[in-house]
Structures are given as structure tokens and as C-alpha cells.
Copies of this chain bind each other. A is one copy, B any other.
Amino acid sequence: MNPMDPRTELLKGTLDMLILKIVDLGPIHGYAISQRIQQISKDFFQVQQGSLYPALHRLEDRGWLLAEWRQTETGREAKFYTLSRKGKKQLEAEVRNWESIAEAVFLILRTAD
């Protein structure tokens, strides 16, 4: 995605939350996470691999995701992620925060003179 593409800008800080949310739906591997995000958002978000994998490692390092090598349905090796208890709490906090931010942004955008 072009660095001037506005879609890049506002994924900033949101990607972690979206990943945690997708993983919360059930064990899933990285490649499939990016597909799910793209699919559910109706192709609006396209998570680059250069964003995806560093984010997954970040979330694992922070103890929010647990990783385990398993086989996919098609018999390939892949790293499956699940949410830790800490991750679940983090997700809840981030969702609350996102809702507050969205509310505050809309307050400002709807302000008339």
C-alpha cells in the first residue's frame, strides 16, 4: 500500500487491537489473520506482512498471544495463536479505548460554529 494512502495512516495503533480481536474468535495462524481482517472489513484493511509478523511477535512478547506450531486443515505447518488471559484483558481495554476515541473524534467532527 502506498505510504500516502490514507488507509495506512489510521491503521496505526489499531492493528494490535484488530489482531487480538480476530484471535479471540478462535485459534488461528498469522497468514489467516490478515485474510480475515481483509475479508471482514470488506477489503478496506489490507495488512501487509511487514506489519503483520512484527505485530504478532510484539503481542507474543508482551504475553498477550500464545503461539504453537500446528498443522492447518491442508496439512501445512503454521504457527497458531491464542489469546492469553492477559491478552483478553488487553483486548477489552483497547476496545473501550477505541470507543472513547471514536466518540471524542466524532464530537469534534460534528462541532458546528
Contact = CB atoms under 8 A, between A and B. Distances in A.
A104 B13 contact: no
Interface string A22-45: 100110000000000100111011
A105 B18 contact: yes
Contacts of A2: none
Interface of A: 6-7, 9-14, 17-18, 21-22, 25-26, 37, 40-42, 44-45, 93-95, 97-98, 100-109, 111-113
B14 A10 contact: yes
B104 A44 contact: yes
Contact of A21 (B9, B26, B97, B109): B109
5 contacts: A10-B101, A11-B105, A17-B109, A25-B111, A102-B105
In this complex, which of A11, A97, A106 has the most chain B Cβ atoms within 10 angstroms of its Cβ?
A11
A108 B17 CA distance: 10
A21 B111 contact: yes
Given A10-B12, A102-B106, 15 more contacts: A6-B93, A6-B94, A6-B97, A9-B12, A10-B14, A11-B101, A12-B12, A12-B13, A21-B111, A25-B111, A41-B108, A44-B100, A44-B104, A45-B104, A45-B108
